[in-house]
């Protein structure tokens, strides 16, 4: 009962957040054909790093809490508590138009309700084929099967609702960052269509991946997110000595998250987008 009450509170909270989403100007709102640039995309990606690091710090305050992922015993509820919260949250956010934004991708897209709010006229920045690219199933599996066990402590403290809410924030932040690869691919294509065109027409994934890969830039990103995790997640002390070397989330794991999963999956999205770019 306590969990269901908490979930009800979360639903109300997410409804408010969804309304704020509709009111605030996003990167896409200001990204007209003349405004979309590599610099504007880069600024958005750097900003999203902060969101990801903070969401990981929030999740790390709880142990793994495996019951949050076990099937619920109630016959009225299908799946785990985590799945229930994600599905119900996405239903509410769909009603306020969140998933009409090209930057947002639901984890459970089937049977989402139509928006109840007036349609928002987003600029047509991306190729229409972008709407059909959603790799959230891969992101979900990566997060729960590979990454989550790495940065959470073993154990069970009973805070399953709060744990699931933090997982939701992490999932959404990672999804938005990875699917932002569509914008990265679009701006790169516009800047060098002569380089990408032949590989696109040949449907050559390997060549596209090579064109999109800049190892020096990727190393810089890994170092930056590791530094952010050190700064944002340090234990603050009022004495002069402080508590150096102790962090809320291991900075090296944040770097590893980007190196092994975030950036490779972002490039996967870029390749899938570019393969359709000339359709």
The predicted-structure confidence for 190-246, as pLDDT tens digits, reads as follows 999 999 999 999 999 999 999 999 999 999 999 999 999 999 999 877 775 655 678
* Structure confidence at residue 244 (pLDDT): 64
All domains in the chain, ordered by first residue: 35-275 (1.10.590.10)
In the chain the first and final C-alpha atoms are separated, in Å, by 52
CB contact at 8 A, 273 and 133 = yes
The predicted-structure confidence for 95-140, as pLDDT tens digits, reads as follows 999 999 999 999 999 989 999 999 888 888 999 999 999 999 999 9
Average pLDDT value for residue range 38-59: 96
């Amino acid at each position: 009962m306590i969990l269901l009450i908490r979930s009800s509170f979360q639903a109300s909270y997410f409804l408010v957040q969804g309304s704020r989403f509709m009111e605030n100007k996003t990167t896409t709102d200001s990204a007209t054909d003349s405004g979309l640039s590599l610099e504007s995309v880069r600024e958005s990606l750097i900003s999203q790093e902060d969101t990801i690091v903070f969401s990981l710090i929030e999740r790390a305050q709880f142990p793994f809490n495996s019951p949050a992922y076990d099937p619920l015993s109630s016959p009225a509820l299908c799946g785990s508590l985590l799945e229930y919260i994600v599905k119900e949250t996405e239903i509410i956010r769909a009603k306020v138009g969140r998933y009409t934004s090209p930057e947002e991708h639901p984890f459970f897209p089937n049977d989402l309700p139509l928006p109840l709010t007036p349609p928002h006229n987003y600029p047509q920045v991306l190729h229409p084929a972008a709407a059909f690219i959603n790799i959230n199933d891969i992101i979900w599996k990566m997060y729960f099967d590979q990454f989550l066990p790495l940065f959470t402590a073993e154990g069970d403290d009973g805070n399953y609702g709060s744990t699931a809410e933090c997982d939701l924030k992490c999932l959404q932040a990672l999804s938005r960052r990875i699917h932002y690869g569509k914008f990265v691919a679009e701006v790169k294509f516009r800047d060098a269509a002569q380089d990408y065109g032949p590989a696109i027409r040949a449907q050559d994934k390997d060549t596209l991946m090579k064109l999109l890969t800049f190892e020096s830039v990727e190393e810089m990103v890994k170092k930056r997110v590791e530094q952010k995790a050190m700064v944002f997640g340090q234990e603050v002390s009022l004495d002069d000595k402080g508590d150096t070397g102790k962090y809320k989330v291991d900075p090296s794991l944040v770097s590893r998250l980007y190196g092994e999963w975030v950036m490779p999956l972002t490039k996967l999205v870029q390749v899938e987008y570019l393969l359709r770019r000339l359709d």
